[in-house]
Amino acid sequence: MDEDIIEDELSDGELDDTELPDGWDEGITDDGKVFYVCHLTRETQWSHPKTNRMRVLSKTLPQGWVKMEDGSFYDEVRKAGSTVDPRLLRAPKEADYIGFRERVTDDGSTVRMLKSTFKPTDTADDVLSGVKLDGKVAIVTGANSGLGYEVARSLAQHGTHVIMACRCLHKGHVARKRIIDEMPGCFVDVMEVDLASFQSIRLFVEDFKHKKLALHMLVCNAAVMGLAYQQTIDGIEAHFAVNYLSNFLLVKLLLPLMLESAPCRVVLVTSEAHWYPYLSSDTPPASVEALHPSAQDYWPTCAYNSSKLCLLLFMQELSTRHGSQGVFCNAVHPGNLLSTALGRHSLLLRLLQAMSWPFGRSPAQGAAVIAYCAAALDLEHVGGYYFVEHRIGSPSKLAKDQQLSSDLWEFSERLVAGLKSTSRK
């Protein structure tokens, strides 16, 4: 979602939620969520059809108002009735809107900010303080160490039933034991998935569906970095396959369940490195082929950066296609040079991490923005944003290319469709 466009719209005064297009009405649920009904298509949605903003009002009626048996409303103080819920009778206020507030800067422009920000030093536990997630189900990939472990641990300790999706079952069970020992009684399962194998991903989803659980959060955290050119068992360059295409396939296979469980949040762990997908400073024409490097055009750093750009393009397209259906996707950059296992394949990266360790952010701090996007109440029904550590960031021009995001989606569909669907016999 383009912040510049948002600011222009806000400053031009175009975000007027008091006006609805012809054929639309608004309603409100018992718990205060405003929804919109199109009488022409007979469809409902949470976002305003013109401004795309979402509102949450009080769960209780204004003082003196009661709801009658026929569904109408009566004001016992003024002795007057209404067929409209009285919570909808007042003009919208900025405090009604989910996740964001508006601020006028010194130069008169209007910017959109998070209502509840958190500090760079905060951990996942800090940002979820007071949040109760009982009954929620989350899948976290790469959950046995680093960022994934901290996210899984914090979600579990706040009541979520967490599925730790790990390549190594032994490491996964060791990590699970640490979580259970810290807080006995929390719900944590370990499941095996190798993101370098699309057969493994399909079997993982098949096994997860057999659990008959809902799915409210999907955190795509696992990644590789610094690999010499190599292809996965499916014949796809490793960075592109593991860091991006595996997440595309995982979402594609889980999408029916996410729609059934909606609202559902998808969090994609990307990087500011997405700004530099090419060796040359001259940006070549946007194309899917340039994002999927061949052996002849390969450079490990650029391959990693391109895979992270793909995640931002995926976030944009997933939000466009399914945001109105209750699947809300955000992408995050958790911080630079975190002391995780991501650089295990590169001696240079390990040296850089060692040198920056006294100044870097811990995995628990890096996990804060991931946990925030996965579960914080501020971002309920909010998607299409790129978060850099503890603030909303601005993605690169390529990351906002709508045609490129659409082309990448179609290219990915063809790739995964061409790989044999495998089920356990």
With beta carbons less than 8 A apart as the criterion, state whether 243 and 249 touch.
no
With beta carbons less than 8 A apart as the criterion, state whether 186 and 303 touch.
no
With beta carbons less than 8 A apart as the criterion, state whether 57 and 35 touch.
no
**Residue 384, Ramachandran bin (φ over 0: left; ψ between -120 and 50: alpha; else beta):** left
What is the C-alpha to C-alpha distance for residues 421 and 425, in angstroms, rounded to an integer?
12
What is the C-alpha to C-alpha distance for residues 54 and 47, in angstroms, rounded to an integer?
5
Structural tokens at position 338: 């975190």
Catalytic pick from 244, 304, 372, 386?
304
With beta carbons less than 8 A apart as the criterion, state whether 300 and 228 touch.
yes
Dihedral (CA of 140, 179, 224, 233) sign = negative
With beta carbons less than 8 A apart as the criterion, state whether 52 and 319 touch.
no
CB atoms within 10 A of CB 282: 6
Q: Reply yes or no on whether 304 is catalytic.
A: yes
Q: How far is CA 222 from CA 149, 196, 244, 345, in A?
A: 11, 11, 10, 14
Q: Which residues are catalytic?
A: 304
